[in-house]
Structure 1
Amino acid sequence: MTGSIEQGTSQTHGNTHLLHFVVRLPRPMGKVWPALATPEGLAGWFTAADELEPRLGGAVTLRGLGGGRVTAWDVDRVAEYTMEDGGRLRFHLERDGDQACVLRFTHEFQGEDHSEAGWRTRFERLIEQLAP
């Protein structure tokens, strides 16, 4: 199985924007989790995590996005990072058979800083990184 990125969707509520992606990944959840929830994993496809305390309420600092807190943490399933500027990144993994999983991603932010195309490129890098 190869990975794929389903069409991203975008919603706007006032000044708040929500991007949603469903990404099919060619690895089981346990192999994907480190790419979403460790500094080394995030740096490989997204951005450097200068700080990441892997627990609910832990501090997180993502280069280019700033600092914040871990606002959801369910090991091997959910990592959510809420930034001080009000932005939020949520990574939710679901099992897809024995050898694959699905990432349901949400990015909530204010303003116009983040594009669907930029996330699509990042997820292509993630799929490449995880390829068997």
Structure 2
Amino acid sequence: MTGSIEQGTSQTHGNTHILGFHVRLPRPMEGVWPALATPEGLQRWFTAADELEPRLGGAVSLRDLGSGRITAWDVDRVAEYTLEGGGRIRFHLERDGEGGSLLRFTHEFQGEGESEPGWRARFERLIGQLSS
């Protein structure tokens, strides 16, 4: 199985922007989870996590995006980081056939922030990392 970015959406409601993606990944959920929910995994494809307490309510600090709290945490399924000034980033994993995963991603933020092409580039890095 190869990975792919299947859907990208961008919505604006007033000053709130919401980017969403569906990303098919070539590994089972358990193999993808560390890339989304550990400092080492996030640094390989996204950004350095200077702090990440792996639990609901735990502290999180993502370099260049800000610090905040983990507002959803379901091991191997959901990691949501709400950052002061950086909005809310949600990774939701589902099984996808034999040995694959579907990542439903949402980034909600105010004002200027991340772009759809920027997230596409990150997800291409994630797919490349999980494919090797």
TM-score (norm 2): 0.97
Tell me by how many angstroms 1:112 deviates.
2.1
AA of the residue aligned to 1:39:
P
Q: How many residues align?
A: 132
Instruction: Determine the structure 1 residue equivalent to 2:64.
Output: 64
Tell me by how many angstroms 1:16 deviates.
0.3
Instruction: Determine the structure 2 residue equivalent to 1:93.
Output: 93
Secondary structure of the residue aligned to 2:120 is helix
State the identity %.
80
- Verify the 8 A CA contact 2:66 2:86 in the aligned structure 1: no
Out of 1-10 and 25-34, give the one that drifted further: 1-10
Structure 2 residue 103 is the aligned partner of structure 1 residue 103: yes
**CA deviation vs aligned residue, 1:77-119 (integer Å, no higher than 9, x gap):** 0000000126000000000123100000000001122100000
Instruction: Determine the structure 2 residue equivalent to 1:129.
Output: 129
- Which ranges in structure 2 are unaligned for 5 or more consecutive residues? none
AA of the residue aligned to 1:93:
L
Instruction: Determine the structure 2 residue equivalent to 1:77.
Output: 77
Give the root-mean-square deviation of aligned CA atoms: 0.9
**CA deviation vs aligned residue, 1:44-91 (integer Å, no higher than 9, x gap):** 000000000000000000000010000000000000000012600000
1:11-30 map, 5 Å: 11-30=11-30
Tell me by how many angstroms 1:6 deviates.
1.4
Moved over 3 A (4+): none
